[in-house]
């Protein structure tokens, strides 16, 4: 119904209003109260953007220094207000709990329901205000355009994080073609397949391992859980991104890619150029470069990276496990810079650079997924210990955790398939390569995929994507 109404409406402004109403209803379905928080955020950032833009226009003709022309007060208000939203609704419990545990104050830990997607739409809104301040984006005088930019439902709750200047023209004019609709639906279908065929299958395995008593975790179980979650989070998040980009394209919006085969990276630095590209770009442009980037010597560069990845970890969740995960990513990048590992030819020739990076990523995901720091250290320790187990004990252990040998083989088979697909695709998008296949092959692939979704799809937590919690 929504799409038919969208096609019938001839005026672009009316189309935008329809998408805004649909997006607000979509968000209100899951967050009936916090939809007002998002509206407050959009109004605030729009208003402060107007203030910054008007001050810059008023001062543009005056003979004052460049620094005096910058309306910093409005920018500071915007940054403080947006970060306060995050501090209250996302980090209040973590902050109070940390202070309480450090000083034994017996404080009451506040329990505040986390608004879905608050980290995504807050960062998106902040980027708009900062870009207006920097002059990279013109101030929008139309609130509805800013609201649609922030709340458009395909990318509202789990990204990708879009910059206003990337979609500014599309908010005023965009075309809907049969080719775009068809490609968007095909991409949406692939994303859905990633979620229900692979991510949810791996979730059954990973949740069984990470939810099991620690006494039942040995080296085999630890590796199964680590590899299963490595698969789950990639196919879960990249699947959502495919669905978001595909659905946006159906409505005429073209967004930048958010993933580029991250598990074939040769370094951790390259991994972050391929994984969650919109977030890593955001931190690079709005935190790393303003801190000085790599322009102030090696020591300062290392400090800047640690700060960025501390914030990256914290952005993902109000738990010290995420902070440790972010810190490890930063430390490994610094280690790569100091040792020059990515320049070693022997590693590249044997593809050991990919294997080592892959292993490091798998290791760090344990901290990301574990329920607590103590759990994560226990599982990491048992990646390299607990060899005293025979085949009968292994089968008993897997069965007690709700796992079968078939599910374990699927885990490793999909892992091998993923690596093979990455190597075959190279730097070219797999979707672009598929579009060159003959129609019969493409039609057969999508027919089998759709049939598999309905017949084999695992609708385990089907309504939940991992990044919904961030």
| Catalytic machinery residues | 316
The CA distance from 132 to 222, in Å, is 48
Burial label, 352 (beta-carbon count in 10 A; 0-12, 13-18, 19+): middle
In 3D, which of 280, 258, 264, 257 has the Cα closest to residue 326?
280
Contact 318, 93 (CB under 8 A): yes
Instruction: Return phi, psi of residue 102, to 5°.
Output: -75, -40
Preceding omega of 160 cis (within 30 degrees of 0): yes
Left (φ > 0), alpha (ψ -120 to 50) or beta: where does 235 sit? alpha
Spell out the SS3 assignment of the chain.
CHHHHHHHCCCHHHHHHHHHHHHHHHHHHHCCCCHHHHHHHHHHHHHHHHHHHHHHHHHCCCCCCHHHHCCHHHHHHHHHHHHHHHHHHCCHHHHHHHHHHHHCCCCCCCCCCCCCCHHHHHHHHHHHHHHHHHCCCCCCCCHHHHHHHHHCHHHCCCCCCCCHHHHHHHHHCCCCCHHHHHHHHHHHHHHHHHHHHHHHHHHHHHHHHHCCCHHHCCHHHHHHHHHHHHHHHHHHHHHHHHHHHHHHHHCCCCCCCCCCCHHHCCCHHHHHHHCCHHHHHHHHHHHHHHHCCCCCCHHHHHHHHHHHHHHHHHHHCCCHHHHHHHHHHHHHHHHHHHHCHHHCHHHHHCCHHHHHHHHHHHHHHHHHHCCCHHHHHHHHHCCCCCCCCCHHHHHHHHHHCCCCHHHHHHHHHHHHHHHHHHHHHCCCCHHHHHCCCCHHHHHHHHHHHHHHHHHHCCCCCCCCCHHHHC
């Amino acid at each position: 119904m929504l799409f038919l109404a969208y096609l019938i409406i001839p005026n672009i402004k009316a189309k935008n209003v329809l998408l805004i109403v649909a997006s607000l209803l979509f968000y209100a379905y899951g967050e009936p109260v916090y939809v007002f928080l998002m509206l407050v955020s959009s109004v605030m950032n729009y208003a402060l953007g107007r203030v910054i833009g008007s001050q810059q226009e008023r001062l543009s003709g005056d003979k004052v220094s460049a620094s005096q022309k910058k309306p910093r007060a409005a920018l500071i208000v915007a940054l403080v207000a947006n970060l306060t939203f995050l501090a209250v609704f996302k980090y209040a419990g973590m902050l109070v709990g940390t202070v309480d545990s450090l000083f034994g104050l017996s404080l009451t830990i506040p329990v505040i329901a986390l608004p879905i997607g608050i980290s995504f739409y807050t960062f998106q809104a902040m980027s708009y205000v900062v870009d207006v301040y920097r002059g990279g984006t013109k101030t929008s005088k139309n609130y509805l355009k800013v609201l649609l930019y922030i709340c458009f439902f395909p990318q509202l709750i789990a990204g990708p994080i879009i910059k206003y200047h990337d979609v500014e023209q599309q908010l005023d004019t965009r075309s809907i073609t049969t080719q775009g609709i068809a490609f968007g639906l095909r991409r949406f279908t692939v994303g859905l397949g990633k979620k229900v065929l692979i991510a949810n299958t791996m979730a059954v395995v990973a949740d069984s391992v990470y939810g099991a008593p620690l006494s039942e975790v040995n080296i085999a179980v630890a590796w199964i859980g680590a590899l299963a979650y490595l698969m789950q989070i990639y196919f879960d998040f990249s699947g959502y991104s495919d669905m978001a980009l595909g659905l946006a394209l159906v409505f005429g919006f073209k967004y930048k890619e958010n993933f580029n085969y991250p598990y074939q990276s040769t370094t951790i630095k390259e991994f972050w150029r391929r994984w969650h590209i919109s977030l890593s770009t955001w931190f690079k442009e709005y935190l790393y470069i303003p801190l000085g980037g790599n322009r102030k010597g090696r020591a300062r560069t290392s400090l800047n990276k640690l700060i960025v990845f501390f914030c990256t970890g914290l952005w993902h969740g109000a738990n010290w496990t995420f902070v440790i995960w972010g810190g490890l990513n930063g430390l490994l990048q610094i280690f790569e810079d100091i040792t020059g590992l990515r320049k070693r030819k022997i590693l590249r020739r044997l593809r050991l650079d990919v294997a080592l990076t892959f292993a490091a990523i798998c290791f760090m995901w344990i901290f990301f997924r574990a329920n607590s720091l103590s759990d994560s250290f226990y599982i990491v320790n048992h990646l390299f210990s607990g060899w005293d187990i025979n085949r009968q004990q292994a089968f008993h252990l897997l069965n007690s955790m709700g796992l079968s040998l078939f599910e374990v083989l699927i885990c490793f088979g999909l892992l091998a398939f993923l690596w093979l697909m990455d190597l075959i695709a190279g730097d070219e998008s797999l979707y672009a390569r598929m579009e060159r296949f003959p129609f019969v092959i493409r039609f057969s692939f999508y027919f089998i995929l759709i049939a598999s979704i309905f017949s084999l799809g695992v609708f385990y937590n089907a309504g939940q994507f991992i990044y919904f919690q961030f």
